[in-house]
Every structure is written in C-alpha cells, then in structure tokens.
Amino acid sequence: MRDFPSCFGESGVQIADSSCSSVSKASQNVVTCVYKCKLLGHSCLITLTWSKTLMGQCLSVEIDDLLNHCLCKVDVKPSLFSKRKGSKCLELINSAAKIELFWDLSSAGFGSGPEPVEGYYLAVVCEGEMVLLIGDLRREASKKTNVTPSPSNAMLVSKREHIFGKRVFGTRAQFCDNGNVHSLTIECDTISVNDPCLVIRVDSKMVMQVKRLRWKFRGHDTIWVDGVPVEVFWDVHNWLFGTVSGSAVFMFQTCLSFEKSFSDPRVSRWPCSRSFGEPKLPGLDFSLILFAWKNE
C-alpha cells in the first residue's frame, strides 16, 4: 500500500508518475482494496490485493498501523488457492498476538477482474475477534472461524482497479459505508468524433458531462450519490494525445465535510499530494481510482 501511486497534484489533476498511466500489462489484472479496521483496540489499515496471473489466483494481505508501519504481511500464492479454501496463521511484528486468515473461494463468482463478487468469504481474526469479514458467506465464515460476526468498524476507504472497453467502461461501486452498490459507467468516444465528450452515469442516469474534452482533458467536478457529495477527478490525456497502450485515470472521492471545506479558505480544496498510505484525513471517506484502458 505504501507504493500506491498518487496521480493527482495540488494544482489540479495531473499525472505525477509514469506508473499512473503506463501500468504494465501484468499489473492490469490487479484490484487493491484498503480497509480501516480495529485491531487490539487500535486503528489499522488492511490492504487486500487480488491478482490473477498465468499461475492462477493470488491474494496479498498487508496490515499496517496508521503510521505506515507494517504489522504483518502474507502472500497467498496460487498453490494455496488450488483447493479454493484454506487458512493461514500470521504473527504480528512486536506483539505476541497472532492473526488468523480464513478464506473460501470454492463457490466464488467473478466478474471481469480478479476480485470475487459473490459466493465467498475472507475473514481476518485476532484474539477471538473478527477484525475484517468480507463476502456474502457470513454464516459459513462464522462456523469455520468459531467467531460470531458482530457489527464491525471495518470500512472500505480506498479501492483501485482496472477497467476495459472501447467506448463504455463500467464497474460497480459503493460510495457510502453500508450504502447501496451502484453501477458506474464512463462513456467516451475519442476516435469517431472530432469533439469528444466525457459522460459519467450512475445506475444509467447521467450525473456528469464534459464537453470540449480536448481542452478539458484534465479537471474535476462534483456529483451527488446517495445524498453524499463525490468529487470526480479525471485525466484522459493518454486517450487523446498519448500512446495506444496508455490509460485514462479517474478518481471518485467522497467528502463528508464538503460544505465546510469549500466555505473555509483555510482548508485545502483537495489534499491530493498525500500518500494513499497515510491516515485518512478528517472528512475524507472513500476513494475509488480507475485506470481505464481502451480495447482497440
């Protein structure tokens, strides 16, 4: 998580690192999710990196404190995923406590990416407490771990993924904790039209339109989803002027203290230069970063 690339600068949206737009083909089958959780009474960040290679399905789990100190890390390699279910015991650095990781992907359903979307569970347990539980098989997870799932403070705070298409790029996103899962689509034809237009839809409803895209290939705007303001940042320079293999980059960032931050000139409009491994700033809720690749 500490090498999570920051693609956005203080003065606007800009590609700050070549890794943001020229991600290798191998890394395109990767989805990274960061959860803020409670571990032994303290806040921590758990990063799950789902990937798919020629060798099979892979999962990397890293637990950090809010100062970016790694507490433990493990890679579940394809050989351990061969039976699609299992467990692994981890040791916390500088602590006698142990972390137990349980997973069952034997009935998992997958979309276009490496992250399962249904029929699975992944649980992180410490000292008899459920630190993180994702997936829809909660009852099966409780039986396997011998831990009764309780209301958790775990919150998805960041997600990064790659999406593909020719003119329409789609994914699903949950902008609010325990909120609705929405269909999110990005539409842009940069080949057959002289004056490209960028359109973003949530559940098929157009929520944002950018005309004269060749002049506005980088920028930001605000949409509202589930009554929450979501700032949208985009950089489609590579689609219009870059190489065929380049991707556009989009960030969707919710901000619960939206009105206060915009009315107070002392508050920075967008703390984009921060590392994604840093503690979540007050008022910042969830960020989704999408690398959009055109299939020619």
Does residue 283 surpass a pLDDT of 60? no
Residue 2 covered by a domain: no
Same domain, 164 and 252: yes
Q: What is the pLDDT of residues 117-150, one digit of tens each?
A: 899 999 999 988 999 999 999 999 999 999 877 6
- pLDDT for res 170: 92
Same domain, 46 and 145: yes
Give CA angle at 282 (277, 285), nearest 5°. 70
Name the domain boundary from 126, 156, 186. 156
- pLDDT for res 289: 96
For 1-18, what is the mean pLDDT? 40
- pLDDT for res 21: 42
- pLDDT for res 226: 86
Task: For residue 25, give the DSSP letter.
Answer: G
Tokens of 267: 């508050």
Residues 6+ apart with CB under 8 A from 227: none
For 233-256, what is the mean pLDDT? 86
Same domain, 114 and 46: yes
- Split at pLDDT 50, 70, 90, the class of 205 is very high
Residues 6+ apart with CB under 8 A from 230: 175, 222, 223, 224, 252, 253, 254, 255
Q: What is the pLDDT of residues 21-58, one digit of tens each?
A: 444 444 568 899 999 999 888 899 999 999 887 777 78
Q: Tell me the C-alpha distance between 211 and 189, whole Å.
A: 12
Domain that includes residue 173, residue range? 8-26+160-294
For 224-249, what is the mean pLDDT? 87
Same domain, 88 and 106: yes
* Burial zone of 212 (CB within 10 Å; 0-12 exposed, 13-18 middle, 19+ buried): exposed
What is the CB neighbour count within 10 angstroms for residue 176?
16
Residues 6+ apart with CB under 8 A from 146: none
Give how many domains the chain has, as a whole number: 2
